[in-house]
C-alpha cells in the first residue's frame, strides 16, 4: 500500500478542517489570514503552553514546536475543503487573503457530540475569549516565542 492510500487519523484534512472551522467560528466576525490561522490552530491544540488553567487538546509531545512548520499546507487543504462546503468565505483584501466562518459554521458545530469535538469547540471558544483584544502580530509573537525558544534550546 502506497503512502497516498494510507489513512491518517490525525492532522488529516477533515480533522484539521474541523479545528480550523472551530477557531474561525469562535473568533467570528473576525477574519484572519493563513499565517494567523496556523498560529491559532497551534494555540488551540497546545493551549496549556500559553494559558494557565486551560488544558491542551492533545497530550504534550517534546517535539510539538516543530508542528508549526507543517501546519500551513495542512490548513490550506482544510480551508479549500471548508470553502467547498460553504462553511467559510474567502475575502480578497488589499492586505491579502483572509478567511471567515459563514453562518453555516455555527449550525454545523452545534450538532457535534463526540467528546473530542465538544472539547475542541469549547477550547476554541475559550482561546478566542482570551485573545479577543490581542492583535494579530502579538498572537503570532506568542507562538514564535514558544517555538523559537524550544528550537533554540534543543540545538544547544
Q: Which phi and psi (to 5°) does residue 100 adopt? A: -145, 145
Reported pTM: 0.84
DSSP secondary structure letter of residue 31: -
Burial of 19 (0-12, 13-18, 19+ CB in 10 A): buried
What are the CA-CA distances from residue 10 to residues 6, 110, 128, 146, 153 (Å)? 12, 22, 23, 22, 27
The contacts of residue 51 (CB under 8 Å, 6+ apart) are 126, 127, 130
Q: How far is CA 63 from CA 49, 59, 139, 150, in A?
A: 13, 11, 21, 9
- Residue by residue, pLDDT tens for the chain (156 residues) are 444 444 545 668 898 999 999 999 999 999 999 999 999 999 998 888 888 888 888 777 766 666 776 788 899 999 999 999 999 999 999 999 999 999 999 999 999 999 989 999 999 999 999 999 999 999 999 998 888 754 444 433
Side-chain half-sphere of 126: how many Cα atoms within 13 Å?
Answer: 20
> What is the pLDDT, as a whole number, of residue 55?
84
- Cα 74–Cα 75–Cα 80 angle in degrees, nearest 5: 105
pLDDT for res 156:
38
Integer Cα distance of 131 and 123 in angstroms:
12
Amino acid at each position: 500500500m502506497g503512502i497516498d492510500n494510507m489513512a491518517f487519523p490525525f492532522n488529516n484534512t477533515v480533522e484539521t478542517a474541523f479545528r480550523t472551522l472551530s477557531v474561525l467560528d469562535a473568533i467570528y466576525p473576525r477574519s484572519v489570514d493563513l499565517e494567523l490561522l496556523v498560529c491559532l490552530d497551534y494555540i488551540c491544540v497546545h493551549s496549556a503552553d500559553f494559558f494557565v488553567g486551560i488544558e491542551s487538546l492533545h497530550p504534550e509531545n517534546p517535539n510539538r514546536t516543530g508542528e508549526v512548520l507543517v501546519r500551513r499546507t495542512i490548513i490550506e487543504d482544510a480551508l479549500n475543503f471548508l470553502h467547498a462546503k460553504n462553511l467559510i468565505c474567502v475575502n480578497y483584501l488589499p492586505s491579502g487573503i483572509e478567511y471567515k466562518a459563514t453562518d453555516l459554521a455555527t449550525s454545523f458545530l452545534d450538532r457535534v457530540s463526540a467528546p473530542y469535538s465538544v472539547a475542541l469547540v469549547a477550547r476554541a471558544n475559550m482561546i478566542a475569549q482570551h485573545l479577543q483584544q490581542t492583535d494579530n502580530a502579538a498572537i503570532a509573537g506568542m507562538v514564535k516565542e514558544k517555538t523559537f525558544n524550544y528550537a533554540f534550546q534543543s540545538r544547544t
